[in-house]
């Protein structure tokens, strides 16, 4: 469904579904993008402060991004993002964690200078099966406003 800036309101909450990262995916991602020992190898990871394999925070971010594409973004009206104000990984993600995502709208407004577009600011969170936040980010998307 096509969504416009006007369809989002402060306090709206959207569920983003579930994702379970597996060991192989964590290791393959680390090999390609983020080869720290604690992302790459179970035995090496045991020797670190993490006491076991953990996901690259960037892979965790891309898991969230995948959820956003599946459950949240409207591809016809979203015009990208200038960036993220904050992106944190409070607790590591481990193989077979059950991650659930959620987005809360912080602000939604039409541009004063260009009323055909607007800005939707949100906070997104991924939690594991213990309800611990494993990923949290605040960002703004630029989006079309509803045609008059």
61 binds a copy of itself (CB under 8 A): yes
Q: How far apart are the C-alpha atoms of 16 and 39, rounded to whole Å?
A: 25
Member of 4, 8, 19, 38 binding a copy of itself (CB under 8 A) = 38
**3-state secondary structure labels for all residues of 43-74:** HHHHCCCCCCCCCCHHHHHHHHHHHHHHHCCC
Number of residues this chain uses to bind a copy of itself (CB under 8 A) = 33
111 binds a copy of itself (CB under 8 A): no
Q: How far is CA 42 from CA 89, 107, 144, in A?
A: 20, 42, 46
Rank residues 69 and 109 by Cβ distance to a copy of itself and give the closer one. 69
Q: How far apart are the C-alpha atoms of 48 and 43, rounded to whole Å?
A: 9
Give the range of 4-12, 80-88, 105-113, 118-126 binding a copy of itself by CB under 8 A: 80-88
85 binds a copy of itself (CB under 8 A): yes
List contacts with a copy of itself (CB under 8 A).
33-38, 48-50, 57-58, 61-62, 65-66, 69, 73, 75, 78-90, 92, 136
């Amino acid at each position: 469904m096509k969504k416009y800036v006007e369809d989002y309101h402060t306090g709206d909450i959207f569920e983003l579904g579930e994702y379970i990262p597996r060991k192989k995916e964590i290791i393959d991602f680390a090999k390609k993008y983020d080869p720290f020992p604690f992302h790459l190898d179970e035995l090496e990871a045991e020797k670190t402060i993490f006491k076991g394999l953990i996901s690259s925070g960037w892979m965790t971010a891309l898991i969230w991004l995948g959820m956003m594409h599946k459950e949240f973004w409207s591809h016809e009206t979203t015009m990208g993002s200038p960036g993220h104000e904050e992106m944190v990984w409070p607790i590591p993600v481990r193989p077979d964690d059950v991650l659930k995502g959620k987005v809360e709208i912080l602000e939604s407004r039409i541009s004063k200078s260009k009323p055909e577009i607007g800005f939707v600011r949100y906070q997104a969170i991924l939690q594991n099966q213990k309800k611990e936040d494993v990923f949290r980010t605040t960002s703004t998307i630029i989006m079309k406003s509803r045609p008059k």
